[in-house]
A and B are shown apart, each in its own frame.
Chain A
Amino acid sequence: KNEVEQSPQNLTAQEGEFITINCSYSVGISALHWLQQHPGGGIVSLFMLSSGKKKHGRLIATINIQEKHSSLHITASHPRDSAVYICAPANTGNQFYFGTGTSLTVIP
């Protein structure tokens, strides 16, 4: 069983749509990271959160520690949001567990 499960694996949306990517994990964590990877590009950290909710521009990340679940929301999606989004919980020893990612394509 994978420690991290993301859904959906692939997602295609029309520009302007509200998008949700879900992440469930089975390990005990100190924090959870959401990462963004553009094709052929490096990985950028979007959020690090250990409780509640964080917002940055059109991106919102939430986490429920008791249910071991996190979501990444994108409001008013744009073609430049097309990327792979990776959920990465980290335990207290700073060991990261990476999901396989959600590939998002936003069509103009």
Chain B
Amino acid sequence: EAGVAQSPRYKIIEKRQSVAFWCNPISGHATLYWYQQILGQGPKLLIQFQNNGVVDDSQLPKDRFSAERLKGVDSTLKIQPAKLEDSAVYLCASQLGTTVGELFFGEGSRLTVL
């Protein structure tokens, strides 16, 4: 069974530039999460989708971050314009159902903003 796919693995940009990350969850997984993990900290939820609907985006900095999951399958997270403090690993995770279940993570996309 293929795992959660993310790309790119690494990205270096200058501040004020834009960047997009892509995630393809495990086939059939209804719930998809985007997390931001800053070095030395635990993951912080940015947005949670159930199918193509947003369940929780309360911690998403909406002035610069956006995310979509138009067909309820893969998802894109965009940052525009990037700030230095956005340097982090962006993790995508998925779950089969919409209630309690095992969480599957991708390898993450490491962003460095210069």
Mark A residues whose CB is within 8 Å of B. 4, 30-31, 33, 35, 41-45, 48, 50, 86, 88, 90, 92-96, 98-101
Contact yes or no, A100 B42, CB < 8 A: yes
Task: Evaluate contact between B102 and A43: CB separation under 8 angstroms.
Answer: no
Check B43–A98 contact: CB distance below 8 A.
Answer: yes
Most buried by A among B42, B43, B101: B42
The smallest C-beta distance from B105 to any residue of chain A, in angstroms, reads: 4
Q: CB-CB < 8 A to B43: which residues of A?
A: 43, 86, 96, 98
Say whether A90 contacts B100, CB under 8 Å: yes
Total residues of chain B contacting the partner, CB 8 A: 25
Q: Which chain B residue has the least Cβ–Cβ distance from A33?
A: B103
Query: Are the C-beta atoms of B100 and A50 separated by less than 8 Å?
Result: yes
| Binding-face segment, B11-19, B71-79, B80-88, B91-99 | B91-99
A30 engages B101 (CB within 8 Å): no
> Is B104 an interface residue, CB under 8 A from the partner?
yes
Query: In the complex, what's the smallest C-beta–C-beta distance from A9 to chain B, in angstroms?
Result: 10
What are the residues of chain A within 8 A of B106 when measuring CB–CB?
42
Q: Cα distance A14–B62 when bound, in Å? A: 46
Query: What are the 8 closest A-B residue pairs judged by CB atoms, nearest first?
Result: A98-B42, A43-B105, A42-B107, A31-B100, A30-B100, A100-B42, A42-B105, A98-B43
Q: Which residues of A have CB within 8 Å of B48?
A: 94-95
Bound state CA distance, A41 and B42, in angstroms? Answer: 14
Residues of B within 8 A of A94 (CB): 31, 48, 55, 95, 98-100
